């Protein structure tokens, strides 16, 4: 049981490049979410999904896209990276939003 996995662990991008952060879980959780962690800001919700085919925006969705074609996977896409997107990104999952969320190890992204 791997829990929540994220790839890559670390990525450097140039401004304007695109990339996809991968997130997968093997716990059959319906709810999945993406957060970014910045110094002094805590974690802020980017997008979330309550089940396959259903996604919604969180607190800071601009510049990010998501889709949920399977229960297991919830990728986060940066269409045109900006330096303001330099951050640590965490994916999380749970049975329901109100229940305990299980976090992945994070992806550290640097946009130059």
Partner 1 sequence: GNSVTQMEGPVTLSEEAFLTINCTYTATGYPSLFWYVQYPGEGLQLLLKATKADDKGSNKGFEATYRKETTSFHLEKGSVQVSDSAVYFCALSRSNKLIFGTGTLLAVQP
Stretch that binds partner 1, among 12-20, 42-50, 64-72, 77-85 (CB under 8 A): 42-50
41 binds partner 1 (CB under 8 A): yes
d(CA 54, CA 67): 8
Measured from the CB of residue 45, what is the shortest distance to partner 1 in angstroms?
Answer: 6
State residue 103 phi and psi, 5-degree precision. -100, 145
82 binds partner 1 (CB under 8 A): no
Stretch that binds partner 1, among 19-27, 62-70, 71-79, 91-99 (CB under 8 A): 91-99
Decide whether 34 or 81 has the Cβ nearer to partner 1: 34
Measured from the CB of residue 18, what is the shortest distance to partner 1 in angstroms?
Answer: 25
Measured from the CB of residue 92, what is the shortest distance to partner 1 in angstroms?
Answer: 8
């Amino acid at each position: 049981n791997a829990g929540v996995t994220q790839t890559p662990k670390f990525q450097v991008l140039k401004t304007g490049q695109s990339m996809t952060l991968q997130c997968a879980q093997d716990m059959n959780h319906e709810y999945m979410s993406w957060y970014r962690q910045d110094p002094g800001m805590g974690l802020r919700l980017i997008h979330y999904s309550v089940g396959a085919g259903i996604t919604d925006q969180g607190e800071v969705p601009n510049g990010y896209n998501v889709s949920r074609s399977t229960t297991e996977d919830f990728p986060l896409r940066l269409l045109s990276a900006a330096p303001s997107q330099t951050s640590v990104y965490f994916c999380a999952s749970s049975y329901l939003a109100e229940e305990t969320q299980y976090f992945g190890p994070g992806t550290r992204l640097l946009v130059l």
